[in-house]
Structure 1
Amino acid sequence: MLSRGAGRVGRVSTAPETTGAPQRPASPIDDVADAHVATYAALDPFDATALGLPGHDHEVTDLSPAGHEARADATRATLAQLDGLAPADEVDTITLAAMRERLGLDLELHEAGETLADLNVIASPVQGMRDVFDLMGTDGADAWSTIAQRLAGLPQAGAGYVESLRLAASRGRVPAIRQVREAITQAEELADASSSFFTSFVTSPEAAAAVEAGGDALRADLERGAEAARRTYADLVTFLRDELAPQAPEADAAGRERYALWSRYFLGATVDLDETYQWGLEELARVVAEQEAVAAEIAGPGATVEQAVAALDADPSRRLEGTEALQRWMQETSDAAVAALDGVHFTIPDAIRTLECRIAPTQNGGIYYTGPSDDFSRPGRMWWSVPPEVTTFNTWREKTTVFHEGVPGHHLQVGQAVYNRAQLNSWRRLACWVSGHGEGWALYAERLMADLGHLDDPGDRLGMLDGQRMRAARVVLDLGVHLGLEAPERWGGGTWDADKAWEFLRANVNMPEQFIRFELNRYLGWPGQAPSYKIGQRIWEQIRDGAAATAQQRGEAFDLRAFHARALGMGALPLDVLRTALA
């Protein structure tokens, strides 16, 4: 797999402005990295679209066992080529370490059968075959003709996916029944002509305008494509319900061996899982204490967090009605952050100053970021997927979210890497994504904005702490359930399970119950991913504090702005590689 999985190979002819840094000559290691990206884009067109690479948007990814093996073969070939090369400079040294770690883990996951059995509620082909259309161009008849071709190809992708799940099941690897049932529900909605995204997509105003220019042939192609997509999901429902569900285990826990592998993948680092669980309990307690102190500022001495939340929710100045108001507020908040930080705490190139804030076409409650294309013709975007029943939004909760997804969070981090073509090859700029690095940075960025005075309002600060509390709780829950650890007496004692996790989340996450239920299902089906946010933040802070201590030992002033610029200029890295690179 290309490591950016959920969010973005080759070089394109139309380059954005240069970084101002001197152009570094491409090395043999860069050539291998660039070739790997180009090869992989051809083998995984869905990822190519996510990465913003042209030429593959009309194609679908081969999700069959043969497709997985072809991508594994490409990875093996790249690693073999790298084994014969010596780094020419520090950039090469970092590239070599990062590629060996990422590609090596890709192969470990493949050989363990994890990629064949890929099914969960948020980040598997069940969602990916649909979500890729959010990233495709929709401007003009040619763009919609490309969409029609990909829609027509979905039955092939879906059939390959079923073949992989069937093979994995024959080898004893079946996702938990909770994930299968939720996937069935999602697929049923996409298969139903009356509710399917594909129905509304090909009849949207953008599609209608394209059809007006492209004529009846394009309309017919889009209608056939939408029908093919719905049929793909109907066939998937039949397989999941009739064949896979009867084999699916009740147990949600991944177990220590699987969990350790996924933890290394999501962090790019090896951590002591038992020590991290204890730290998670301590961090949760620390954040709760901080919340209680802020609650007293909001609602008076002795006030509970719940009382402070009620006071904030009742404040009409902190409330938005409707998604149009939400979108405007997101954009205004993002633009203001860029203006305030640029030239003061960060140097933000013009190409990165644009972040589009959008309401997502999906309605599952998620908030996420997608990066810019290689040439920045598609800008970075923050998406909010709003359930239909949710019409009121509280700004005190979400200001920190805009910083997380935008600037100085994901958009600055990802955009800076894409922009740095003078120093980094395409794999480093576009294809390397490590959740602990990226999500850890975004949580680090939220705390940074508080430290810089952008969350001085007690309500906004409580919102930031609300998010930090949820991320700390996820460390405890995820490790506790998947490793079968002992739950504290306060949360029921005995071994962690889904029922204890539900009560634990309800007590620590200030969200409507439908959001909490989705989040719990996500954690149970995606071991190791949710803790990577808070553990990644912990490692980022350790690296920063280590750099500050080194500067102090040398009698030098620690330049935080320079530290951030150097770290972000390297692009996404496995956290162990980042630690070594910044030492």
Structure 2
Amino acid sequence: MVALLCSLLLLSSAVARAQDADARLRELYQSEYAWRQQELAQVRDDDGWRSGGRLPRVDAASQQRRLAYWEQSLATLDQIPLEELSEEERINAAVFRRIVTTLANDTHYRTWEAPLNSDTFFWEGLYPRMGGFDSEQAYRDYIGRLQDLPRYFAEQQANMRAGLARGYSVPGVTLEGREQSLEPYLATAEDNPFWSPMTAMPAAIPAPRREALQAEARRAIDEAVVPAYRELLAFMREEYLPRTRTSLSARDLPDGAAFYQSQIEGFTTLELSAEEIHALGREEVARIHAEMVATKEASGFDGDMPAFLEFLRNDPQFYAKTPHELLAFSAYVAKRVDGALGDTLGFLPRRRFTILPVPDAIAPFYTGGRGGLESCLMNTWNLPSRPLYTLTALTLHECAPGHALQAAIAREAPGEIPEFRANNYFSGYGEGWGLYTEWLGVEMGVYDTPYEHFGRLSYEMWRAARLVIDTGLHHYGWSREQAQAFLREHTALSEHELTTEIDRYISWPGQALAYKLGEMLIRRKRAEAEEALGPDFDKRYFHDLILGLRSVPLTVLEEQLDHWVAAGGPDPYAEFDTGY
């Protein structure tokens, strides 16, 4: 009896400690997330956080204040005994640590002094691409952000000048012509892109107030937005671009080796060295090349690989003649995928996405496509550089079962996760899933011809080549031409895509590594699960587990998949009424 009582007391004590540790952790990540949203100038309403009436402060003093906060958050996290946390809170702790470590590292290395790269700029994305806002207050806040643009741009320019002064900038060769994306914002009133939300005001706002808001928006565009963009364009052309660095490698930046390693870990969520990643990339390139040779032979082409690549790059049969044809091809692929999703996933979301062209202002230097919750953007600029034989893989990756579907499931999947996780994205997880879905398309039967199969392999080779090229550029000191030659030799990408992609890797160290490393982990864990579970393996449950976790570090994903296999590969939503 005494022994039993002691056991109960010990159990009670352990439960109390776990509850205390869980509570301390929740307080930490909830406080940090709310603080971070306020720092990003977000406000909370009934639907969660949204943009408020100003833009975030990005000046050096604000950045240093944030660094101090994140360093203190990590110190507080270190004081929480992880072994006493519940299983779910252990996952939350690992996710929180990775998020805050990456934020602190980026701030420590002052990445805010170069707030742009070859295809992403701080002056883009400041207004909704589709539709408007739901309320009058949201419109008033939007006008407030327009009025705040001069201050925001001035702080960004001050940061960029500080970066130039210490030798920290984006390599100039990767920014050629990018300042042209500022020109549409020099138009006044209704001709300015910032006017677009004002044409989609809800009828619930009375006509007199709609007219008053539109008048305020016109003044804000003409008196704040246009002058801010005009000044920024002059700064880019006359001051920044002429003084950007001519070297390419991240190792040439201040404290470059440590900075590059921090970017590797931030984007991949793995603790791998540049040397290890380079070697993995070489192995994958060799493996995929053998598959490409076999697929070329299956196509019946009579010639060697360079001749086949030349044929694919230049034969008119492989290229759309109009933007509509390209978009229609992508839409047809997406609809065929719909027919196979029921055998691929257990839980399917209600939300749907659309397929749109990349906006003209950014299309010349934008990627071939990009997907998200509401839409997939397909690039219809320079159609001779957009082969249809790769569009099947691209649609799988960006639309479904890739990013658009992934984002919808993250919103709708059963099971509660903390707010800070629901609004977070790890490249290794997200892009790893996207690349995995390209391979999954083979299983789903959506590749019709040997050319489309080769296009998929070319895309997989492209991601494997990134492991070699990114580390080659930023660790081994490759030249731009050397990187282009490697990609040209091993893939069927067009010359335009070759150029824009290499410039992206140069200007965004580490980001390109996430895709292949994430996909390799998912495919490896699936092979292990299939072998361990045999006939009990259900790919629907495997995929549901991955997507139900939402975005997590790859180390957490691997750990959770191992637990799932050890439990016999169960339906992760068995306890929920999901309707399937």
Structure 2 length-normalised TM: 0.79
Moved more, 358-367 or 149-158: 358-367
Q: Which residue of 2 aligns with 1:574?
A: 553
Distance in 2 between residues matched to 1:367 and 1:444, nearest whole Å: 18
Identity value in percent? 23
Q: Tell me: CA distance 1:406–1:484, structure 2 relative to 1, closer, same or farther (3 Å).
A: same
Q: Tell me: CA distance 1:453–1:335, structure 2 relative to 1, closer, same or farther (3 Å).
A: closer
* Preserved contact between residue 110 and residue 116 of structure 1 (Cα < 8 Å): no
Q: Which residue of 2 aligns with 1:356?
A: 354
Q: Which residue of 2 aligns with 1:230?
A: 226
- Correspondences of 1:34-45 after superposition (within 5 Å): 34-45=30-41
Q: Which residue of 1 aligns with 2:497?
A: 515
* Preserved contact between residue 466 and residue 510 of structure 1 (Cα < 8 Å): yes
* Aligned-residue offset at 1:326: 3.4
Tell me the amino acid that sits aligned with residue 41 of structure 1. Q
Matched, 1:443 2:435: yes
Q: Which has the larger radius of gyration?
A: 2
Matched, 1:405 2:398: yes
Tell me the amino acid that sits aligned with residue 349 of structure 1. L
* Aligned-residue offset at 1:582: 2.6
- Correspondences of 1:325-344 after superposition (within 5 Å): 325-342=325-342, 344=343
* Aligned-residue offset at 1:190: 4.6
Distance in 1 between residues matched to 2:44 and 2:339, nearest whole Å: 32
Moved more, 69-78 or 524-533: 69-78
Structure 1, unaligned stretches of length 5 or more?
1-25, 373-379, 486-495
Q: Which residue of 1 aligns with 2:377?
A: 383
Q: Which residue of 2 aligns with 1:454?
A: 446
Q: Which residue of 2 aligns with 1:93?
A: 90
Q: Pick from 109, 113, 120: which aligns with 1:112? A: 109
* Preserved contact between residue 152 and residue 229 of structure 1 (Cα < 8 Å): yes
Q: Which residue of 2 aligns with 1:17?
A: none
Distance in 1 between residues matched to 2:193 and 2:133, nearest whole Å: 13
1:440-477 CA-to-partner distances (Å, cap 9, x unmatched) read: 11111111221343325322212211211222222222
- Correspondences of 1:24-63 after superposition (within 5 Å): 29-45=25-41, 53-63=48-58
* Preserved contact between residue 211 and residue 219 of structure 1 (Cα < 8 Å): no
Q: Pick from 394, 411, 414: which aligns with 1:418? A: 411
* Preserved contact between residue 410 and residue 547 of structure 2 (Cα < 8 Å): yes
* Aligned-residue offset at 1:263: 0.6
Q: Which residue of 1 aligns with 2:266?
A: 265
* Aligned-residue offset at 1:70: 4.1
1:39-76 CA-to-partner distances (Å, cap 9, x unmatched) read: 22221148999xx9544254312221233234334434
* Preserved contact between residue 371 and residue 399 of structure 2 (Cα < 8 Å): no
Q: Which residue of 1 aligns with 2:544?
A: 565
Q: Which residue of 2 aligns with 1:121?
A: 118
Matched, 1:249 2:241: no
* Preserved contact between residue 404 and residue 446 of structure 1 (Cα < 8 Å): yes
Q: Which residue of 2 aligns with 1:153?
A: 148
Distance in 1 between residues matched to 2:108 and 2:487, nearest whole Å: 34
Q: Pick from 484, 500, 510: which aligns with 2:482? A: 500
* Aligned-residue offset at 1:310: 3.7
Tell me the amino acid that sits aligned with residue 37 of structure 2. A
Q: Tell me: CA distance 1:306–1:191, structure 2 relative to 1, closer, same or farther (3 Å).
A: farther
Distance in 2 between residues matched to 1:27 and 1:236, nearest whole Å: 47
Q: Tell me: CA distance 1:422–1:580, structure 2 relative to 1, closer, same or farther (3 Å).
A: closer
Distance in 2 between residues matched to 1:544 and 1:305, nearest whole Å: 34
SS of equivalent residue, structure 1 residue 129? coil
Q: Tell me: CA distance 1:460–1:175, structure 2 relative to 1, closer, same or farther (3 Å).
A: closer
Cα-Cα RMSD? 3.5
SS of equivalent residue, structure 1 residue 347? coil
Tell me the amino acid that sits aligned with residue 484 of structure 2. W
Structure 1 length-normalised TM: 0.79
* Aligned-residue offset at 1:517: 2.0
Distance in 2 between residues matched to 1:503 and 1:345, nearest whole Å: 38
Distance in 1 between residues matched to 2:242 and 2:310, nearest whole Å: 44
The list of structure 1 runs, each at least 4 consecutive aligned residues, that deviate by more than 6 angstroms after superposition, is: 46-49
Q: Which residue of 2 aligns with 1:395?
A: 388
Moved more, 416-425 or 247-256: 416-425
* Aligned-residue offset at 1:328: 3.9
* Preserved contact between residue 349 and residue 412 of structure 2 (Cα < 8 Å): no
* Preserved contact between residue 29 and residue 85 of structure 1 (Cα < 8 Å): yes
Tell me the amino acid that sits aligned with residue 268 of structure 2. L
Distance in 2 between residues matched to 1:334 and 1:119, nearest whole Å: 32
* Preserved contact between residue 359 and residue 386 of structure 1 (Cα < 8 Å): yes
Moved more, 28-37 or 106-115: 28-37
Structure 2, unaligned stretches of length 5 or more?
1-21, 252-256, 563-580
Q: Tell me: CA distance 1:441–1:330, structure 2 relative to 1, closer, same or farther (3 Å).
A: same
Moved more, 528-537 or 228-237: 228-237
Distance in 1 between residues matched to 2:160 and 2:312, nearest whole Å: 49
Q: Which residue of 2 aligns with 1:527?
A: 509
Q: Pick from 161, 165, 172: which aligns with 1:177? A: 172
1:66-113 CA-to-partner distances (Å, cap 9, x unmatched) read: 332343344345435544545642111011012112212221221122
* Aligned-residue offset at 1:145: 5.1
Tell me the amino acid that sits aligned with residue 503 of structure 1. A
1:146-202 CA-to-partner distances (Å, cap 9, x unmatched) read: 543322222121111112223334444333333455554444x355439x9x94425
Q: Pick from 522, 526, 532: which aligns with 1:544? A: 526
* Aligned-residue offset at 1:368: 4.6
Q: Tell me: CA distance 1:180–1:445, structure 2 relative to 1, closer, same or farther (3 Å).
A: closer
Moved more, 521-530 or 39-48: 39-48
Distance in 1 between residues matched to 2:44 and 2:513, nearest whole Å: 27
* Aligned-residue offset at 1:135: 5.1
SS of equivalent residue, structure 2 residue 160? helix
Q: Tell me: CA distance 1:216–1:61, structure 2 relative to 1, closer, same or farther (3 Å).
A: same
Distance in 2 between residues matched to 1:229 and 1:545, nearest whole Å: 54
1:462-503 CA-to-partner distances (Å, cap 9, x unmatched) read: 221121122222222211111125xxxxxxxxxx21122233
Distance in 2 between residues matched to 1:479 and 1:441, nearest whole Å: 22
Q: Number of residues paired by the alignment?
A: 524
Distance in 1 between residues matched to 2:264 and 2:434, nearest whole Å: 18
